[in-house]
Amino acid sequence: MEKGIKFEVALVILAFAVYYSVGNINAQDTSALVPAIITFGDSAVDVGNNDYIPTIFKANYAPYGRDFINRKATGRFCNGKLATDITADTLGFTSYPPAYLSPQATGKNLAIGANFASAGSGYDDKTAILSHVIPLSQQLQYYKEYQSKLSGVVGSSKAKSILSGAIYLIGAGSSDFVQNYYVNPFLNKVYTPDQYSSSLVGIFTSFVKDLYKLGARKIGVTSLPPLGCLPATITLFGDHSNGCVSRINVDAQGFNKKINSAAAQLKKQLKGLKLVVFDIYTPLYSLIQKPQDNGFVEARRGCCGTGVIETTIFLCNPKSIGTCRNASEYVFWDSVHPSQAANEVLASSLILQGIDLIS
């Protein structure tokens, strides 16, 4: 099925959900289906927080953002929109919740939510410390600060309504494995992948409970993607093979089983909690294995530069040689992150899986 057709199908299904849930909508923008979107995690969902901290993990320079609004690099690790941006569009938002550390995160802009994600971060705070980025624990502290600021802008009663009706998105875990576990001799010799997964899922469980205590009731968390199929992972760990690294995909699938089990337990324990685990492994794996069936040409390397290792300022930059002309033909933008075209396919899957969060 063409990627455009998939997205249209998602919109049709979403329209039915809107029709039946419209009576419960209490949004800042009458066109939006939820009052706010609040996001935590890593580079898959970071919209620019790393622009304001001293780290090499930045995407505020060309060719990042070349297909985004006004062709501007904003800190998104993509040529254009992230899957969460496309989801916000579909939910009726006319602007995106700002990166919390940005100058835009002030006044009434806060009423549609905020983004606390930081590229290079993860569930394990040590992952973020290695990359000099914002740990998940600090993202939570920023969220508490945000709550106070929001109350100051719209009043405590309205703030409580926004926060309880908001969708909370968590996208993390990839950096924990690719940038920490697999390259850290201490971790991978002392802990098995299964043991490390369990520790990450334990952190996830505690994080969801903390959000719940702070008023969150609609939470969506992404699964791990097929980590063994990322161009960078194939280059670093593939033993000169051009195919996916199966052992790493097995680790990702093991983590995904654990987080699904943990989510099921949390929904039993926390009254009124709506918690959805978004499966991004399956749709992305499908794109990688059969790119032509989905309107893509290339799935083994990214568009930027050589496409096999570029993902930081040293490797994907304005002087990168060989960057493709048409990123919509590529599943990956750089060696780790999907292109906007791939994100459109992922977003359609997210919308279908997450209808319970807007009903």
Q: Indicate the DSSP class of residue 78.
A: S
Q: Catalytic pick from 46, 124, 279, 334?
A: 334
- DSSP class of residue 339? P
3-state SS track over 210-232: HHHHCCCCEEEEECCCCHHHCHH
137 included as an active-site residue: no
Q: How far is CA 164 from the centre of its chain?
A: 21
Kindly state the tokens that stand for 234.
């194939």
Tell me, what DSSP letter sits at residue 272?
T
For residue 63, say if its preceding peptide bond is cis, omega within 30 degrees of 0: yes
Q: How far is 187 from 130, CA to CA, in rounded Å? A: 13
DSSP 104-138: TSSGGGGGGEEE---TT--SSHHHHHHHTS--HHH
Terminal-to-terminal C-alpha distance of the chain: 28
**127: CB partners within 8 A, 6+ apart:** 120, 121, 175, 176, 179, 180
Q: What is the dihedral sign for C-alpha 42, 44, 45, 50?
A: positive
DSSP letter string, 257-310: HHHHHHHHHHHHHSTT-EEEEE--HHHHHHHHH-GGGGT-SB-SS-SSTTSSS-
Q: Confirm whether 334 is a catalytic residue.
A: yes
Reduced to 3 states (helix: H, G, I; strand: E, B; else coil), residue 313 is coil
- Give the whole-angstrom CA distance, residue 31 versus residue 23: 13
Under a CB-based contact definition with an 8 Å cutoff, are residues 358 and 91 in contact? yes
User: Which residues are CB-contacts of 271 (< 8 A; sequence separation ≥ 6)?
Assistant: none
Residue of 51, 337, 339, 349 marked active site: 337
SS3 51: helix
**Among this protein's residues, is 337 annotated catalytic?**
yes
Give CA–CA dist 143/153, Å, rounded: 15
**Catalytic member of 42, 43, 121, 197:** 43
Please identify every residue annotated as catalytic. Answer: 43, 334, 337
